[in-house]
Structure 1
Amino acid sequence: MLGKVGFLFGLCVGLSGCGNAFEGSYRAMEGVIGPLVAIDVKGNKATVVKVDPFRKLVLSEQTWEAVSNGEKLLLTDRKGKTFAFNRSVDERGLECLNCGLGTGMPSSWQQFDPNN
């Protein structure tokens, strides 16, 4: 019996993983002509980069706090404003719940591989 309990405990620990369920890179276009915004989530940090897609110029780069709260990803900027994200319908991208016009952050985000 004790062996089964140990096995189940080990299995649970192994399956739970150590990382944030939202880890990865996401991108979105702010408005019609930009800028392009990219978020790279690793653990409890998120690097947020805004790029001018036409001039290929980095406009800003900041590190924000990232917290995975069950079904939501909460990103808090340097000024203390928190943006809440859910998984999009395709289960890969993100939908921002409090982003959009006037917030400086797009609503819909696509997952991407920054190495490609």
Structure 2
Amino acid sequence: MEILGRERRRRWSTAERLEIVAAVGVNGETLARVARRYDVSRSQIYQWRHQFRKRGLLPAPTGPTFLPVDLEAPMRHAEPVPEDIIASPVIVELCLAQGRRLRFDAGIEAAALTRLIRSVEAA
């Protein structure tokens, strides 16, 4: 990397750009973490990746990407949901301001739902 003049504009070589773009996804690295590590904006990495793919320097994604998911890990801030709600697919839960939750039947009329939300928010 080379810093030029007062504006501190950085010049990245093609090899450095490829290294940064290739670092995304390795061992679960996110684009945001790679951008912070190399002190470059996320949009710049997207732009480089697009340019490299256009020039044929990066292979295009060939298929779906699978990410590891741990279904046994507890959810943060999760509240237990009563079993009768799980069994009924017509119940909707709406998360309102200040942690309030409103559960209602999916068939509720829009006007009644609006009045209900307003009264709960005003309480």
So what's the TM-score if we normalise by structure 2?
A: 0.18
Bigger relative contact order, structure 1 or 2 (CA pairs below 8 A, ≥6 apart): 1
**Of the two, which has the highest radius of gyration?**
2
Question: Which has the larger share of helix?
Answer: 2
